[in-house]
Amino acid sequence: MAIISLAIRSLINRRFTALLTVLAIAMSVTLLLGVEQIRREAKTSFANTISGTDLIVGARSGAIQLLLYSVFRIGNATNNIAWDSYQELAANPKVSWTIPLSLGDSHRGFRVLGTNGDYFEHFRYARNRQLTLAAGRPFTGLFEAVLGSEVAETLGYTLDQDIVVAHGVGAVGLSRHDDKPFRVVGILAKTGTPVDRTVHVSLESIEAIHVDWQGGARIPGMAISAEQVQQMALTPKTITAFMVGLHSKISTFSVQRAINEYRGEPLLAILPGVALQELWDLMSVAEQALLAISVFVVITGLIGMLTVILASLNERRREMAILRSVGARPAHIFGLLMTEAGLLASAGVLLGVVLLYALLIIVRPLVETHTGLFIAIEMLSARDMTILGLIVTIGFLIGIIPAIRAYRYSLADGMTLRL
Amino acid sequence: MASSNPLIRLESVKFRWREQDNAILDIPTFEVDPGERVFIRGASGSGKTTLLSLIGGVITPQQGTVGILGTAVNHLQSAQRDAFRAAHIGFIFQMFNLIPYLSLLENVVLPCRFSRTRRNRALTRSRTLEAEANRLLAHLGLAVDSLPGRTVTELSVGQQQRVAAARALIGNPELIIADEPTSALDSDIRRTFLELLFKEAEAVGATLLFVSHDASLQPLFDRSLALADVNRAALKSGT
């Protein structure tokens, strides 16, 4: 079609400004798509952290705080749950399984989680996926540790290596349980959840490394060796939290109420899905703000395009008069300007997508090594396509403004060539 | 002068740019026969370009009839007028006639992109539009091969006007309207250009309507007249 080829030739003639305009739109599109991508990735990895668990129980505090320390290993519990309370609640006939969680120690910045074999059997993440071992076996005895994949990868640990657990959380300056080292017996496969950053040991081991401790420090003059501790009764006195699976989802609320009204001590039971949503909503303010900013950047890009086309219009009145004299109708002139705007917007969108993928390919390994966040490079989603389609459509529609002006000029000028 | 079948026939035409203005054109009658070469003389601002716009159907008079090839163009719909103009009229302007971002040949074949009639007629003469453009340019003394890779803006003014003439002639329009096409040319080039234009117009049997303020060109034409002689509005304003 004559008009499209004319529009392309005309843009090539003004390639410098056209290129800058396309680049501005492309950058804004890259930003918008990038934000969308990160938002989607974050939400997915967020929702994938836990599944299949009906309730999470901890000492009474906030729902989000409980979720953060029990699932995300962020922050600390304010209080513990007595072992007896745990036993009593776990014995509820509606309860199918429980996973005890004991937190508070760390290894070189990674949290140590005390639990039992039920963890490997019942814990689920993503879409009902069970934990699998990449190497070794689950812990069975004292002073055996199973590492999350990222722990092993970052610290370069292999099976049968000895590691020392520190008391408290943090990377440096902690008192270490160096009299009772652990042996790595298993390494978990990658899950993309906080499990990857966790060192798993048995509840008894947690108890054992603390027998000669009190109030966060070694009891002076009392040293019980790793051999001696094997002979002791190591039933834990407390745990930090526990996860609950029910026989039937229908009983979720009644069990939750029973736990919340438990007389032995103040406890809190939360529905992980609800708490995750709450936490996500909390963070979504930032996400929404980011999205709003990128939308404004796209609008800025399109306004820039409008400015460039409008500014060129006056010097192109002669060109339009010539086109009119060789038979172009005012409608052709209108179409020419709209096509130009549409072409600029389309080229901007295409370049933006190319830039996005180029950027993703470059930053992906960096992001993964530095934050452990795995960004999947995916095809554009239907939502992305809708957004891109919308930008191109708006680009075309914006072309109406200069098109109307050019149309008026060409009617008013006729074939008078104005210099 | 009066023929039973004139190519251009203006009758009681009155035109004013705005409602409150005086009429700039008031032409009781004006006719041009097919194949005629007519020179219209007039000072700038006398309404020459307005007259050409009326004949070209770019503007329509408030009163009267503008007949071209027996069609009352001012009574056509605007889209039909545009199509009529594209098919039957070729234009040459004073200068900067060409679209700067199109090549020399693309400029010449431009009317064929907007008019099927011109395109088909051009293709009966040559196998391709480009061949026809080359043929016309060669006839006008502009060998494209001798101008390799030049954009139209790099051509001299004389060369540009020849390209414009080729564009006006392609596809054999019945009427060629030239609005001061030689005023930017040196006098020796001017004459050559006109002779070539005449020759080509004659070859295709086109009528030539030529407007200029330069009376020295008059003798070259079949007929010459002052715009003031046919335009009553000019008389009234005392030109």
ipTM score: 0.82
Q: Looking at A13-17, A43-47, A123-127, A131-135, which range is the least confident one?
A: A43-47
Q: How confident is the model at residue A174 (pLDDT cuts 50, 70, 90)?
A: low
Sheet holding B175-179, edge to edge: B89-92, B175-179, B207-212, B37-41, B223-226
Whether residue B222 is predicted with pLDDT greater than 60 in this model: the reply is yes
What is the reported pLDDT for A415? 59
Strands B37-41 and B223-226: parallel
CA nearest neighbour of B8 among B46, B47, B37, B49: B37
Q: Which residue carries 């020419």 as its tokens?
A: A336
Q: How many CB atoms lie within 10 A of CB B140?
A: 22
Write down the pLDDT at residue A177. Answer: 81
Q: Which two tokens mark A357?
A: 């993928």
For residues A139-167, average pLDDT: 90
**CA nearest B176: which of B83, B86, B90, B109?**
B90
Name B185's Cβ contacts closer than 8 Å, sequence gap at least 6.
B157, B158, B161, B193
The partner residue sitting opposite B96, judged by closest CB among A329, A415, A417, is A417
pLDDT over 60 at A78, yes or no: yes
Greater pLDDT, A153 or B237: A153
The model's pLDDT over A375-414, given as tens digits with 9 standing for 90+, comes to 677 788 888 899 999 999 999 999 999 988 888 877 766 6
Beta strand A124-125 with A129-130 is: antiparallel
Kindly indicate the confidence band of residue A320, based on its pLDDT and cuts at 50, 70 and 90.
confident
Looking at residue A87, its pLDDT comes to: 93
Residue B2 scores a pLDDT above 90 = no
Residue B140 has pLDDT above 60, yes or no: yes
Name which of A56-65, A135-144, A189-198, A372-381 the model is least confident about. A372-381
pLDDT band of A418, cuts 50, 70, 90: very low
Q: Longest C-alpha distance within chain B, in Å?
A: 54
Cβ burial of A100 (10 Å; 0-12, 13-18, 19+) is buried
Q: Are the CB atoms for B206 and B136 separated by under 8 Å?
A: no
Query: For residue A176, what are its two tokens?
Result: 């270490």
Of A57 and B104, which is predicted with more confidence?
Answer: A57
Mutation target vs B (from A17, A317, A326; most B CBs, 10 A cutoff): A326
Minimal-distance CA residue of chain B relative to A8: B101
Contact A183, A144 (CB under 8 A): yes
Q: What is the pLDDT of residue A203?
A: 93
pLDDT tens readout for residues A113-144: 999 999 999 999 888 888 999 999 999 988 99
As a whole number of angstroms, the distance between CA B88 and CA B175 comes to: 6
- The residues, any chain, with a CB within 8 Å of residue A244's CB and separated by 6 or more, are A53, A54, A55, A56, A57, A89, A90, A95, A97, A98, A255, A269
Average pLDDT over residues B74-94: 87
Mean of per-residue pLDDT scores for chain A: 87
Q: Does A412 lie at the interface with B, CB-CB under 8 angstroms? A: no
Say whether pLDDT at B157 is over 60: yes
- Identify the closest residue of chain A to B49 by CA–CA distance: A416
- pLDDT value of residue B159: 85
Across the interface, of A322, A329, A332, the residue whose CB is closest to B99 is A322
Q: Which pLDDT belongs to residue A212?
A: 77
Measured CA to CA, the distance from residue A117 to residue B111 in angstroms comes to: 84
Asked if residue A1 has pLDDT above 90, the reply is no
Contact predicate B125/B170, CB 8 Å = no
Residue B239: what pLDDT? 41
Q: Can you tell me the distance from the alpha carbon of A77 to that of A267, in angstroms, rounded to the nearest whole number?
A: 12
Q: What is the distance between the alpha carbons of residues B44 and A345, in angstroms, rounded to a whole number? A: 44
Count how many pairs of residues, chain A against chain B, have C-beta atoms within 8 Å. 67
Q: For B60-85, what is the mean pLDDT?
A: 89
Once rounded to an integer, what is the mean pLDDT over residues B92-107? 84
CA distance A28 to A45: 26
Q: What is the structure's pLDDT at B238?
A: 42
- Mean pLDDT across B77-85: 86
Residue B97 DSSP label: -
The answer to whether A231 contacts chain B (CB < 8 Å) is no
A346: exposed, middle or buried (Cβ count in 10 Å: 0-12, 13-18, 19+): middle
Q: What is the C-alpha separation between A122 and A130, in angstroms, rounded? A: 7
3-state secondary structure chain A: CHHHHHHHHHHHHCHHHHHHHHHHHHHHHHHHHHHHHHHHHHHHHHHCCCECCCEEEEECCCHHHHHHHHCCCCCCCCCCEEHHHHHHHHCCCCEEEEEEEEEEEEECCEEEEEECCHHHHHCEECCCEECCEEEECCCCCCCEEEECHHHHHHHCCCCCCEECCEECCCCCCCCECCCCCEEEEEEECCCCCHHHHEEEEEHHHHHHHCCCEECCEECCCCCCCHHHHCCCCCCCCEECEEEEEECCHHHHHHHHHHHHCCCCCCEEEECHHHHHHHHHHHHHHHHHHHHHHHHHHHHHHHHHHHHHHHHHHHHHHHHHHHHHHCCCCHHHHHHHHHHHHHHHHHHHHHHHHHHHHHHHHHHHHHHHHHHCCCCCCCCCCHHHHHHHHHHHHHHHHHCHHHHHHHHHHHHHHCCCCCC
What residues of chain A lie within 8 A of the CB of B117, using their CB?
none
Q: Which residues of B touch A327 (CB under 8 A)?
A: 82-83, 85-87, 111, 114-115, 118
pLDDT surpassing 90 at residue A30: yes
In 3D space, the residue among B88, B31, B68 whose CA is nearest the CA of residue B206 turns out to be: B88
pLDDT tens track for B160-208: 888 899 999 999 899 999 888 888 788 888 888 888 889 888 888 899 9
- For A245-276, write each residue's pLDDT tens digit: 999 999 999 999 999 999 989 999 999 989 98
**pLDDT, tens digit, 9 for 90 and up, residues B14-23:** 888 887 778 8
- Ranges of H-type helices in chain B: 48-55, 78-88, 104-114, 116-125, 129-139, 157-169, 187-204, 227-230, 232-236
Interface test with A, best of B82, B88, B119, B151 (most A CBs within 10 A): B82
Which residue from B minimizes the CA distance to A10?
B101
Dihedral of CA atoms A190, A191, A192, A198 in degrees, nearest 10, equals -80
A417 interfaces chain B, CB cutoff of 8 Å? yes
State how far residue A411 is from chain B, nearest Cα, in angstroms: 8
pLDDT for the residue B1 = 44
Burial of A199 (0-12, 13-18, 19+ CB in 10 A): buried
Q: Using pLDDT thresholds of 50, 70 and 90, give the confidence band for residue A241.
A: very high
Quote the distance between the C-alpha of residue A264 and its chain's center: 38
At residue A416, the pLDDT reads 62
Alpha-carbon span A343 to A341, nearest angstrom: 5
Provide the pLDDT for residue B79. 83
Query: A13 to chain B: which residues are within 8 Å by CB?
Result: 100-101
Span B123-127, average pLDDT? 88
CB contact under 8 A, A10 and B93: no
- Which residues are A99's β-sheet partners? A243
